[in-house]
Amino acid sequence: MIFTVVDQARRAIRLTKERLEHILERPEMGGQEDRIRETIALPEIIKVSRHDPDVLCYYRWYEATPVTKKYLVCIVKVLNHEGFVITAFYTDKVKGGKTAWQR
């Protein structure tokens, strides 16, 4: 276990070592663990995946990233009011899907 963070709905979301290793396959994600935690704890918007209603996409905008101005999106699977990070990466825009929550 790398960390557990509580999201805006008071769900415990965990990032495991195995999932972090997957995330770090993207070179720009090195050293971004604090931002992953921040994005889940303090997102700007959360979308429900179009493919799986148990998957939430947490977005937060960052002016400075290893790849210019981008959103960090953390993809989280939620079961029984707790979840785990599937992956995380930088993206240009918030993708489609139903809005579950917005600041």
Can you read off the two tokens belonging to residue 24? Answer: 């770090």
In the Cβ-directed half-sphere of 35, how many Cα atoms lie within 13 Å? 23
What distance in Å separates the CA atoms of residue 32 and residue 35, rounded to the nearest whole number? 5
DSSP assignment of 90-102: EESS--SS-EEEE
Q: What is the pTM of this model?
A: 0.96
pLDDT in tens, 45-102: 999 999 999 999 999 999 999 999 999 999 999 999 999 999 999 999 999 899 999 9
What distance in Å separates the CA atoms of residue 102 and residue 46, rounded to the nearest whole number? 6
pLDDT in tens, 73-82: 999 999 999 9
